[in-house]
């Protein structure tokens, strides 16, 4: 895993790392590095549907997408060789997620020796109109 994280950090190519995470493939998660920012995308797969009448994304899929994005962002940004443990995940659903591509970016808001805090924003059409925000607290592994 350490080699994949280092290679992703160096090259900006996410495919090989994402192939090692079955859930990422299941929900249609992709990622690309844009300068200093990592942009995560989740495609509107039928299996991600929560309410077929609207239709809308399942809230749990949105949360899983955001948690996975935060974990991957932290691992690649800090070149972490082990998956950090989620201590706490808090999400605020701001509006319904339509069956459209969903994007997320992460901000490392605090990093200590043992704990890291990541903020995640998810949107669909407009970055300024998020569908959800989340805060994730991680326990970092000793090196």
For residue range 18-41, list pLDDT tens digits in order. 988 999 999 999 999 998 899 999
For residue 139, the cross-strand partners are 85, 115
* 7 pLDDT higher than 90: no
Query: Which residue from 81, 79, 77, 63 is spatially nearest to 122, judged by alpha carbons?
Result: 63
Predicted local confidence at residue 55, as pLDDT: 94
* Distance, CA of 76 to CA of 53 (rounded, Å): 38
Domain range spanning residue 22? 2-139
Contacts of 50 (CB under 8 A, 6+ apart): 56, 57, 58, 59, 60, 61
* Distance, CA of 142 to CA of 63 (rounded, Å): 27
Predicted local confidence at residue 143, as pLDDT: 54
Predicted local confidence at residue 92, as pLDDT: 99
Predicted local confidence at residue 41, as pLDDT: 98
pLDDT classification of 142: cutoffs 50, 70, 90: low
Q: Are 122 and 104 in contact (CB under 8 A)?
A: yes
Q: Are 141 and 87 in contact (CB under 8 A)?
A: no
Predicted local confidence at residue 50, as pLDDT: 94
Tally of structural domains, the chain: 1
Kindly report the CATH number assigned to the domain that includes residue 50.
3.10.129.10
Q: What share of the chain is helix, strand, coil (3-state, %, to 5)?
A: 30, 40, 30
For residue 71, the cross-strand partners are none
């Amino acid at each position: 895993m350490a080699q994949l994280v280092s290679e992703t950090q160096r090259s900006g190519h996410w495919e090989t790392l994402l192939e090692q995470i079955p859930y990422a493939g299941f929900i249609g998660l992709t990622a690309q590095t844009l300068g200093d920012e990592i942009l995560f995308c989740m495609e509107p797969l039928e299996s991600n549907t929560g309410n077929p009448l609207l239709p809308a994304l399942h809230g749990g899929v949105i949360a899983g997408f955001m948690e996975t994005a935060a974990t991957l962002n932290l691992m690649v940004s800090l070149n972490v060789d082990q998956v950090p443990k989620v201590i706490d995940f808090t999400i605020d659903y701001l509006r319904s997620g339509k069956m459209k591509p969903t994007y997320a970016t992460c901000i490392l808001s605090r990093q200590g020796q043992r704990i890291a805090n990541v903020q995640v924003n998810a949107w669909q059409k407009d970055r300024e109109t998020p569908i959800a925000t989340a805060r994730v607290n991680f326990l970092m592994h000793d090196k």
